[in-house]
Amino acid sequence: MTPPRFAPIPAALPATVPFVGPEEIQRRQGRDFDARIGANENGFGPSPHALRAMQAELPRLWQYGDSSSHDLVQALSAHLAVPARHITVGEGVDGLLGNLVRLMIGPGDPVVTSDGAYPTFNYHVAGFGGVLHKVPYRNDAEDPAALVEQAHRTGARLVYLANPDNPMGSWHKARTVQAMLDDLPQGTLLVLDEAYVEFAPADAVPQIAPDDPRVIRMRTFSKAYGLAGARIGYAFGHPDLIVGFDRIRNHFGVNRVAQAGALAALQDRAHLAEVQAHVAAARDRLAAIAAANGMTALPSATNFVAIDTGRDGDFARALVAALEDRGIFVRMPGVAPLNRCIRISCAPAPELDILADRLPQVLSRL
């Protein structure tokens, strides 16, 4: 018997995933990590109000979630000062990116991104038959001018920019993003990934009219709000674009426990402020750990720090593997010259203590 035949686009793709999860590595090693500081998760945890709201929702798990996420959309509308018709909720930024690409990209359509930027976006583009055109980073940051130039050269349907950036933690000021919008070719949509916006300085967040048809902005409850495992995020943009998501999205893809948790988390401003303070302190601690070991922490506006090893990608890869062997999970960028760095998530003090203790030993052995 012959196996089932895939459709042409997935049949031509490699059998890969954007990230190998820490659980997979733990299963391979036969033990849990002592310090799980590689996936940009919020180890400081979600709001206690969010946890209580989610627990209260558990007896109703026999019910599907609200397909329109009405209450959460209304709360986001007030939070953003954006009309509700401009907002859609989805299964985290990853799910929203997949829906956007499905909505906007057909086989052969050009898409522009940065070489080394968030790989899940690329994964979706390839999955729907789009053609990726990449430009290099400049000074460890995505290069808006190069992205715009490539969009004009290729006639790109979508241009992806993360601000702040993953994997480097760098950011652009709002005026740079706004100028980029003005320079894009007619008909090109800017995908502005703002997953880390709650950690960014105020002057990195552009003030863009909610009905501007040139941009869609995506944010998440995974990072600052500590709900990565709930898989919930939102996008906002022109209402004609937002309503298009209803044509292709999984209408019951966001579960009711996640909806309740996100709504409560959004309303707990005090907990968000505590997390922001913890993250800022952890960034300083990571910078000190890096310096004590002859490495350099790059400036970051996220809940992680990219640490320049001062060596090349082979050394950084060996360092990541050696830290894994010592019970510490970190990651690294995948493209040179970014891959000279390792990327470490901000975390509570006990996990950073483990890093501070074991990193010198690992480096000495390397």
Model confidence over 104-126: pLDDT tens digits?
999 999 999 999 999 999 999 99
Query: Is residue 107 exposed (0-12), middle (13-18) or buried (19+ Cβ within 10 Å)?
Result: exposed
CA 91, CA 231: separation in Å to the nearest integer? 5
pLDDT band at 56 (very low <50, low <70, confident <90, very high): very high
Q: What is the set of domains in the chain, with CATH numbers?
A: 19-45+270-365 (3.90.1150.10), 48-267 (3.40.640.10)
DSSP 212-275: -TTEEEEEESSSTT--GGG--EEEEE-HHHHHHGGGTS-TT-S-HHHHHHHHHHHH-HHHHHHH
Task: Provide, rounded to the nearest whole percent, the portion of the chain with pLDDT above 90.
Answer: 96
pLDDT band at 151 (very low <50, low <70, confident <90, very high): very high
Question: How large is the average pLDDT for residues 172-186?
Answer: 97
pLDDT of residue 76: 98
Q: What is the pTM of this model?
A: 0.97
Query: Is residue 1 exposed (0-12), middle (13-18) or buried (19+ Cβ within 10 Å)?
Result: exposed
117: helix, coil or strand? coil
CA 215, CA 124: separation in Å to the nearest integer? 18
pLDDT of residue 18: 77
Which residues have a Cβ under 8 Å from the Cβ of 175 and sit 6 or more positions away? 206
Residue 16 reports pLDDT greater than 90: no
Residue 354 reports pLDDT greater than 80: yes
pLDDT of residue 124: 96
pLDDT band at 142 (very low <50, low <70, confident <90, very high): very high
- What are the pLDDT digits (tens) for 290-345? 999 999 999 999 999 999 999 999 999 999 999 999 999 999 999 999 999 999 99
Task: Provide, rounded to the nearest whole percent, the portion of the chain with pLDDT above 70.
Answer: 100
Closest CA to 307 of 336, 332, 277: 332
Residue 23 reports pLDDT greater than 80: yes
Question: How large is the average pLDDT for residues 88-97?
Answer: 98
Residue 19 reports pLDDT greater than 90: no
> Which residue type is seen at 138?
R
- Per the CB < 8 A criterion, the answer to whether 298 and 305 are in contact is yes
CA 111, CA 118: separation in Å to the nearest integer? 14
> Cβ of 209: how many Cβ atoms within 10 Å?
10
Residue 254 reports pLDDT greater than 80: yes
- What are the pLDDT digits (tens) for 204-237? 999 999 999 999 999 999 999 999 999 999 999 9
pLDDT of residue 1: 82
**β partners of residue 343:** 306, 331
pLDDT of residue 196: 98
